[in-house]
Amino acid sequence: MPTRFETVDGFLAAQSPERRADIDALRALVREAEPGLVEIVKWNSPSYTLGGIDRLTINAAGRGPVRLILHFGTERAEDKGAVSTFGGDPAGLLTWHSDIRASLTLPPADELAGGRDAIVTVIRAWLAEGGSNR
């Protein structure tokens, strides 16, 4: 059975040094995009709320790259067959999973500096628009 984490510090302590570096890099980008986010553990991963609504979750499970899940919590129904009209991703960084949920894959460390601004821009746009399908 997987370890259940109660705190972000507990989650971070359980990561390998390489994985921890990627997670910390993504956490820094999230904080840069919106310092007012509240970091909690939800879905057994670091997650971020804004105004009490779950908006972002770090997915570091498995062996693949660390991803940021952009969502609108559990309060809104999602339509996996609908196309999102979110316009805040001019660089095409997001992979869409429904009309209100997408993922952003953290680039390798040697490519992160070049994509930093685009990642922060997408996060800010997502939070500003509410990830809505308008």
Between 61 and 59, the more confident residue is 59
Helix (H, G, I), strand (E, B) or coil at 55: strand
3-43 pLDDT tens trace: 899 999 999 999 999 999 999 999 999 999 999 999 999 99
pLDDT at 133: 42
pLDDT at 101: 93
Query: Taking the CB of residue 92, how many other CB atoms lie within 10 A of it?
Result: 8
Number of H helices, E strands in the chain: 3, 6
Q: What would the two tokens of residue 64 be?
A: 């693949």
User: What domains can be seen in the chain, in order of their start residue?
Assistant: 8-129 (3.90.1150.200)
> Looking at 43-127, which runs of residues are DSSP E strands?
45-50, 53-59, 67-70, 94-98, 101-105
- How large a percentage of the chain has pLDDT more than 90? 74
Q: How large is the average pLDDT for residues 49-57? A: 94
pLDDT at 130: 63
Query: Taking the CB of residue 32, how many other CB atoms lie within 10 A of it?
Result: 14
